[in-house]
Amino acid sequence: MDIIPAIDLLGGQCVRLYQGDYDQAEVFGSDPLAMAQTWADQGRNPAAPG
């Protein structure tokens, strides 16, 4: 099984939305490129086809 991470962006930051609600966004990173690089360094590929 492949797990492909996704990055939701809001205001240029990486966020986790609670049930898709923008008013309940939890910021977990301010640099989307750095977040993708971290995942790639861990062996994940955010651009991999489903």
Q: 19 in a domain, yes or no?
A: yes
Provide the pLDDT for residue 23: 92
* Token pair recorded at residue 32: 């989307």
Write out the residue range of the structural domain in which residue 37 sits.
8-41
| Predicted local distance difference test score (pLDDT) of residue 48 | 57
pTM for the whole thing? 0.60
- Residues near 48 by Cβ (< 8 Å), separated by ≥ 6? 2, 4
Number of C-beta neighbours around residue 14 at 10 A? 20
Whether 27 and 14 have beta carbons less than 8 Å apart is answered as yes
Which amino acid does the sequence have at 25?
A: A
Helix residue ranges, H only, 1-50: 32-41
Residue 2's pLDDT is: 73
Q: What is the pLDDT of residues 1-50, one digit of tens each?
A: 777 767 789 999 999 888 889 999 999 899 989 988 887 888 876 555 54
1 belongs to a structural domain: no
Let me know if residue 13 belongs to a domain. Answer: yes
